[in-house]
Amino acid sequence: MPAVKRLEAFLFRLDPGASVRMAFGGFSERKAVVLRLEDAEGAVGWGEVWCNFPRYGAENKLRLIETLVGPALLAGADASPAAAFHRLSAALHPMALQTGEIGPVAACIAGIDLALWDLAARRAGKPLADFLFGADAPASVPAYASGLNPDGAPERVAALREAGFSAFKLKVGFGADVDRPNVAAIAAALRAGERFMIDANQSWTLDQARVAVDAFNPASLAWIEEPLAVDRPTSEWAEVAALSAAPLAGGENLYGFAAFDRAIRLGHLRFIQPDVCKWGGITGNFAVARRALAEGRTYCPHWLAGGLGLLASAHVLAAVGGPGMLEYDSNPNPFRALLGSPLPDLIDGALPLPDGPGLGVEPDMAALASSLVERVELTAA
Ligand SMILES: [Mg+2]
């Protein structure tokens, strides 16, 4: 592929006035780091970098792109997006380890990888899903309503059902007095064919997880996500998986092919959930997803940020196939449509994939202008 000649990185910030609550913390203000790459022949690709946490993680990642990851990209020539991913991952690994910035560096590389794949698919004139699949991929992917806060959760599920969703994921880990009434009320109101999942965001100890999964076993949950911290011993994950009537899900906090390979092989996770802009980009997520399906697991992309990452997740899911669902942030999230324009409307809880080449969407830079905090530009020598 032609060498990348220009990299632009944009930091956007806005406050939709609605907070998202996880067991470990939350946010109200939303930030986005967007990448625009241009190759020697003028072709363009767009990427997004995961930066929901911590509060100033977006600023850190913009600086890492400006001073470390961007220069490394522009210093080399790569035969393909995958080759660029592997070159950058290898070249920056010592620095990522030395600085302890393993996650931020991985997210910056993931964002670049996404932009390179978008660029390559645009050059080929094909939607990214078809470009990955090698033929016509499915035209839409089923989505589930995610990010349901504990406050007023049963009423929120009812509203989302009216909006067309038939699968819902509730945040738990706020204590039995909060979690149990929510789970019981939502489970009791489910209609035939609907699915209900919970996400503990790594908040339980083994003792707490034992009690929680036992309490939730009657709820017929479709999955329990991250009941334990991702780095707890295999024996603990095995015990919780055995105690839980619902299958377990996780992957948003795993880094690297080896970590996913191990998680898939061990089998405690039925649902494998890498985040396309947090680790791996299209290169890593497509490979992990195919491996997951080959081993009888289900690929369900993790995503709770802007429209570029959402469409990237949808394209990978369509290309990989299987019974997985697209994670769709049910909170007010202006970056979904602002970064992924024109954003397709959900139809009966499924996201139609755009017909256009690449991701089929791009940032609405005019509409984003008032949210721009900083822009960085790098050019190849
Ligand atoms: Mg989660």
For residue 23, pLDDT beyond 90 = no
- How many helices and strands (H and E) does the chain possess? 14, 15
For residues 9 and 134, give the distance between their C-alpha atoms in angstroms, rounded to a whole number: 30
DSSP characters for 190-219?
PPTT-EEEEE-TT---HHHHHHHHHHHGGG
Q: Kindly report, residue by residue over 149-173, the tens digit of the pLDDT.
A: 999 999 999 999 999 999 999 999 9
- Ligand 1 centroid – CA 234 distance (Å): 19
Average pLDDT over residues 191-197: 98
Cα 225 to middle of ligand 1, angstroms: 6
**How far is the centre of ligand 1, averaged over its atoms, from the C-alpha of 351 (Å)?**
20
Cα separations (Å) of 268 from 106, 194, 264, 281? 25, 24, 8, 24
How many Å lie between the centroid of ligand 1 and the Cα of residue 226? 7
- Domains along the sequence of the chain with CATH: 4-125+368-379 (3.30.390.10), 131-352 (3.20.20.120)
C-alpha–C-alpha distance, residues 295 and 33, integer Å? 34
Residue 78 has pLDDT above 90, yes or no: yes
CA distance 14 to 332: 12
267 C-alpha to ligand 1 centroid (Å): 18
Tell me the backbone φ, ψ of residue 323, rounded to 5 degrees: -85, 15
Round to whole Å and give the CA distance between 240 and 212. Answer: 10
Distance CA 312, CA 319 (A): 11
**How many angstroms does the Cα of residue 19 sit away from the middle of ligand 1?**
16
- Token digits of residue 362: 């791009």
Q: What is the pLDDT of residues 207-260, one digit of tens each?
A: 999 999 999 999 999 999 999 999 999 999 999 999 999 999 999 999 999 999
The overall average pLDDT reported for the chain is 97
**pTM passes above 0.95:** yes
Q: Given a cut of 90, is residue 93 above it in pLDDT?
A: yes
CB 3 within 8 Å of CB 84: no
pLDDT at 21: 86
According to DSSP, the residues that pair with 217 across neighbouring strands are none
CB 305 within 8 A of CB 48: yes
* Residue-wise DSSP of 284-308: HHHHHHHHHHHTT-EE--B--S-HH
Nearest partner of 237 among 199, 273, 205, judged by Cα = 205
Which one is predicted more confidently, 16 or 7?
A: 7
The predicted pLDDT at position 25 comes to 86
Give ∠ CA 252-72-35 in degrees, rounded to 5. Answer: 55
Please, is 259 exposed, middle or buried when counting C-beta atoms within 10 Å of its C-beta (0-12, 13-18, 19+)? middle
CA of 261 to the centre of ligand 1 (A): 19
The CB density around residue 223, as the number of other CB atoms within 10 Å, is 22
pLDDT at 27 over 90: no
The model's pLDDT over 284-336, given as tens digits with 9 standing for 90+, comes to: 999 999 999 999 999 999 999 999 999 999 999 999 999 999 999 999 899 99
- 281-294 vs 102-124: helix crossing angle, rounded to 10: 90
Distance 279 CA to ligand 1 centre (A): 14
Report the separation in Å between the CA atom of 130 and the middle of ligand 1, taken as the mean of its atom positions.
Answer: 28
CA 78 to ligand 1 center in whole angstroms: 34
345, 336 contact by CB (below 8 A): no
What is the structure's pLDDT at 26? 84
Give mean pLDDT, residues 100-127: 98
Nearest-Å Rg of the Cα atoms of the chain is 20
Contact 14, 335 (CB under 8 A): yes
* DSSP state letters, 56-107: THHHHHHHHIIIIIHHHHHT---SSHHHHHHHHHHHHHHHHHHHT-HHHHHH
Write the single-letter amino acid at 115: A
* pLDDT at 39 exceeding the cut of 90: yes
Which residues lie closer than 8 Å to 379 by C-beta, 6 or more apart? 5, 6, 7, 74
Question: What is the mean pLDDT of the segment spanning 99-107?
Answer: 98
Ligand 1: centre distance to CA 343 (Å) = 23
104: CA distance to ligand 1 center in Å? 18
In this structure, what token pair is assigned to residue 248? 């377990």
